Structure 1
Amino acid sequence: MQKFKLGTATAAFQCEGHLETDGRGKCIWDDVLLNDKSIAKYNPEPASDFYKSFDVDIKLAKEYGIEVFRLSIAWSRIFPTDASTVNKKAVEQYHKMFKAMIEKGIIPNVTLHHFDSPQWFVEKGDFLSKENIDDFLVFAEFCFKEFSEIKYWSTLNEINAYSGQKNISAALPPYFRLEYGHFFKQQYNMVLAHAKTVNLFKKLKIDGEIGVPCSVSPMAPLDENNPDDVLASDRANAVSNWSFVEPITTGGYSQETLKLINSVLKNYDFIFEPQEKDLKEIHQAAKNLDWVGINYYFTTFVTKADADFDFTINSTGEKGKSKFNVPWLWKTAIRPDLKYTHWDWAIYPEGLGHVVKWISEKFNCKLPIHITENGYGDLEDMTKTPFIKDYDRIQYIQDHFDVIQKLIDEGEKIEHYYLWSHMDMFSWTNGYNKRYGLFYVDFETQKRYEKLSAYWWLEKSKQDRLDEKVDLKELEKKLGK
């Protein structure tokens, strides 16, 4: 596929395990999850044992046609106690990890922050405090200089989602619910941290490219002909998507977006006003950015909220549990003509096309695009089905591949695709209940097993176009499974 590369993705805390190995310090999740048996049979130790057993997954990547591999460096491993004390053992281990990939011809794409602020940084206020950005820049500069073998860097994964976990969905300390004032303050600081990191990267003349993975889930009107639904959609998109994608791609905030944001924030006695000094940094970063990452899983359909407050998050895979009806915001709705995952995520590949067009047309950003995450989570158990025939995952990926190929044919510069995830991993609020991987992980033995999707992926890697199909019946016949 020439310039277009197929890859898979992971995240340090979700796959590494070894939470006390080589002098690792705690991160924001440790005390929250390690003793919480309510979310899973296991805690984040051992996860997928990737910190020590990375060679197993890299070997599988090579065998199954994976060209690029997204992973993150755990900040709390490199700087376990503060912003200045470097942990050399962890540094050496990451060098080994990267070397193993590069020797097999697999290109690493390394994320600096993937939902895992060190505990010492959290105790200083995390990214809710603008003063703390300098600590992150120390970490970023160290990594850029130390790991010169890396040619693709990502700044902060899903800026909006990390801010939302802390301030809207109450999944992380300080466990706020629907506190959009705090959400915007932290998100803005993280956009600024991203901008300063990009500008630092260019100032240091690092050999490589830098981008940012943006979680973009369109909030579409349930009825496009209903003005109330359209307004609810615009407000929801401005708050949930445009508020960070716009400054990252354009270097600023339009008056339209600010007006929509502040129509929500007035309910919190808070007005969002970006500072001129920050905007200069953000504007420069938009010019310095090498590519834009899109993490896309689903589209949410919204309508005008009614008076009955209802806010429930589905973290168990029990269909129909998700509810969002906030009178001063909007209400989510189900489209009966669409399929939904166990976690109430609408399967709507067209939404990925809408996101790409937002970037290239709405925000007039002509940078290359990486689909940094896309994938299908499911409930899977090898004790019940020895060979996982994940037809739904295959169909999900192929449907999104069809959209991507169409976009490429239309002239969109989409260069990388990273499936979430490479192997099954620990999920932040689902434990080991929600599996995304091409490779099934037995978390008792740490043994990997190929799912049908892994064999399908290998066939896809040999094709010239993403919209070519693989005959699954013939594939299964060939495998004898």
Structure 2
Amino acid sequence: SAFQICYPLTADSADVQAAADAEEYLSYLVLDLSVRGEIPAGFGAYLKEKNAYPYLTEEEWDLLKSDRPDFLGVNYYASLAVKKPGPIDPKADLAFFNMEDYVIVNNPFLPTTTWLRGSYDPLGMKLTLRKLNDRYRLPMIITENGYPQTEAPDEEGCINDQERIDYIAAHLHAVKEAVSEGIPVFGYNIWSFMDLLSGSQGYKKRYGLVYVDHQEGNRGTLKRMPKKSYNWYRNVINTNGKYI
């Protein structure tokens, strides 16, 4: 599941409720159905108010509740900041997730990058793992985590993606801290091994440890070139994360 941790913009209780509502809709709705066989209470009330609550027989609800997964696969990239209903911030990252009960805004306390606008948040990964462990008590594996940026080889054919190294190192450290607290995380998968097509940004948005010479307009040789992060991550694996 792609988990979207949501912070209230302020200590206003209305912002706190808005953040809780956003988390229920964006993350817990699917997870609660998959793990518990139920709809989160707050969002369930919203669906009933809109006459949109799914009709299932008692037997069908029992069937949903009877098949608990063995573990959770967690995709994490960034966090969100949320405020109570009001004016929409058109520059907010992931503003298309807005609903009538909450408004997504840029977090003024987090650094900005080209593709992770205002939500570069390694600590958010640790908090995500805490929340998921408290709610579901299941082992977890990080199925996706990585850093997107626009990049190209320099004159010597090298891709110095130090920003990606810093991002991955910080998030691996967050996972390491979570494990040290007793949270059962049994694996980590980086996104991604090589550059690939981004669903909405094409080849402008790259995640890979290996550069693929493929450009917009179906141009390029498809040549593969390891980036600086490739060699760094290989060393992380070989040393079992000794230097993280």
| TM-score above 0.5, yes or no | yes
Give me the whole-angstrom Cα distance separating, in 1, the residues matched to 2:97 and 2:187: 36
SS at match of 2:150: coil
Asked if 1:216 corresponds to 2:3, the answer is: yes
Give me the whole-angstrom Cα distance separating, in 2, the residues matched to 1:460 and 1:302: 35
- The Cα of 1:275 is off from its aligned counterpart by 4.2
User: What is the 5 A alignment of 1:155-174?
Assistant: none
Q: Counterpart amino acid of 2:150?
A: L
Give me the whole-angstrom Cα distance separating, in 1, the residues matched to 2:8 and 2:61: 31
Give the helix-richer structure, 1 or 2. 1
Determine if contact 1:353/1:407 at 8 Å carries over to the other structure: yes
Question: What is the CA deviation profile of residues 17-60 of structure 1, one whole-angstrom value per residue up to 9, with x for unaligned ones?
Answer: xxxxxxxxxxxxxxxxxxxxxxxxxxxxxxxxxxxxxxxxxxxx
Determine if contact 2:38/2:65 at 8 Å carries over to the other structure: no
- Do the aligned partners of residues 296 and 273 (structure 1) sit closer, same or farther apart at CA in structure 2, a change above 3 Å counting? farther
User: What is the 5 A alignment of 1:191-206?
Assistant: none
- Do the aligned partners of residues 345 and 285 (structure 1) sit closer, same or farther apart at CA in structure 2, a change above 3 Å counting? farther
Determine if contact 2:107/2:118 at 8 Å carries over to the other structure: no
Paired residue for 1:296, among 51, 76, 87? 76
Paired residue for 1:333, among 79, 92, 105? 105
SS at match of 2:111: coil
Paired residue for 1:241, among 15, 27, 31? 27
User: 2:46 maps to what in 1?
Assistant: 263
Asked if 1:348 corresponds to 2:121, the answer is: yes
User: 1:462 maps to what in 2?
Assistant: 238
Paired residue for 1:279, among 61, 64, 68? 61
Determine if contact 1:298/1:346 at 8 Å carries over to the other structure: yes
Determine if contact 2:112/2:120 at 8 Å carries over to the other structure: yes
Determine if contact 2:191/2:208 at 8 Å carries over to the other structure: yes
User: 2:217 maps to what in 1?
Assistant: none
- Do the aligned partners of residues 227 and 429 (structure 1) sit closer, same or farther apart at CA in structure 2, a change above 3 Å counting? same
Asked if 1:362 corresponds to 2:135, the answer is: yes
- The Cα of 1:219 is off from its aligned counterpart by 1.6
Determine if contact 2:179/2:185 at 8 Å carries over to the other structure: yes
- Do the aligned partners of residues 232 and 432 (structure 1) sit closer, same or farther apart at CA in structure 2, a change above 3 Å counting? same
Determine if contact 1:372/1:417 at 8 Å carries over to the other structure: yes
Stretches of structure 1 that go unaligned for 5 or more consecutive residues are 1-213, 313-318, 470-481
Determine if contact 1:303/1:330 at 8 Å carries over to the other structure: yes
Determine if contact 1:368/1:415 at 8 Å carries over to the other structure: yes
- Do the aligned partners of residues 326 and 445 (structure 1) sit closer, same or farther apart at CA in structure 2, a change above 3 Å counting? closer
- Do the aligned partners of residues 462 and 281 (structure 1) sit closer, same or farther apart at CA in structure 2, a change above 3 Å counting? same
Question: What is the CA deviation profile of residues 425-448 of structure 1, one whole-angstrom value per residue up to 9, with x for unaligned ones?
Answer: 011111111000000001221111
SS at match of 1:432: coil
Determine if contact 2:4/2:78 at 8 Å carries over to the other structure: yes
Determine if contact 1:423/1:436 at 8 Å carries over to the other structure: yes
- The Cα of 1:342 is off from its aligned counterpart by 1.4
Identity %: 27
Determine if contact 1:229/1:302 at 8 Å carries over to the other structure: yes
User: 2:224 maps to what in 1?
Assistant: 448
SS at match of 2:188: strand
Paired residue for 1:386, among 139, 157, 163? 157
User: What is the 5 A alignment of 1:104-119?
Assistant: none
Stretches of structure 2 that go unaligned for 5 or more consecutive residues are 215-219
> In angstroms, what is the RMSD of aligned CA positions?
2.4
Give me the whole-angstrom Cα distance separating, in 2, the residues matched to 1:324 and 1:430: 15
Give me the whole-angstrom Cα distance separating, in 2, the residues matched to 1:290 and 1:452: 36
Give me the whole-angstrom Cα distance separating, in 1, the residues matched to 2:118 and 2:107: 11
